[in-house]
A and B are shown apart, each in its own frame.
Chain A
Amino acid sequence: MNGGRTKAGRGAIALVLVTALGVAAGEWHGRRHASSSPPATEGPDAEPATATAAGNCEPRGAPAANAAVDMDALTAVVRRAVAEQFEASGRKEPPTEAPDAHGRPPSKLAPTPEAVAALAHGRTVVDTARAQGRWTDDDAEALRSVLPQLDDASRDEVLQSLTKAVNLGELTVETRGRLL
Chain B
Amino acid sequence: MKRALTLSMFVAIAAIPVLASAGTKSSNPVSIDTVNRRASGSTGSTRNTSPSGSYIGCQVIASGASSSVVCSARVGGASPVFRSCSSSTAAMVTAAAAIGTDSDIVFYWDTSGVCSTIYTSNYSDNEPKAP
Contact = CB atoms under 8 A, between A and B. Distances in A.
B83 A159 contact: no
A155 B68 CA distance: 8
Interface stretch (B7-15, B17-25, B85-93, B98-106): B85-93
B119 interface: no
A155 B61 contact: yes
B86 A156 contact: yes
A148 B84 CA distance: 20
Interface range on chain A: under 10, 10 to 19, 20 to 34, or 35 or more? 20 to 34
A30 interface: no
A163 interface: yes
A160 B66 CA distance: 16
B88 A163 contact: no
In this complex, which of B64, B68, B88, B114 has the most chain A Cβ atoms within 10 angstroms of its Cβ? B88
Contacts of B37: 167
A155 B88 contact: yes
A162 B61 contact: no
Interface stretch (A39-47, A61-69, A171-179): A171-179
Given A102-B89, A156-B88, A160-B113, A166 B70 contact: no
A148 B60 CA distance: 12
Contacts of B85: 163, 167
A164 B84 CA distance: 8
A178 B55 contact: yes
A156 B114 CA distance: 9
A51 B70 CA distance: 71
Given A150-B63, A160-B112, A167-B83, 12 more contacts: A147-B68, A151-B66, A160-B114, A162-B86, A163-B84, A163-B85, A166-B82, A167-B37, A178-B55, A178-B72, A179-B72, A180-B70
A159 B66 contact: no
A152 interface: yes
Contacts of A179: 70, 72, 84
B113 A166 contact: yes
B66 A152 contact: yes
Interface string B95-131: 0000000000000010111100000000000000000
A165 B66 CA distance: 24
A152 B70 CA distance: 13
Nearest to A161: B113
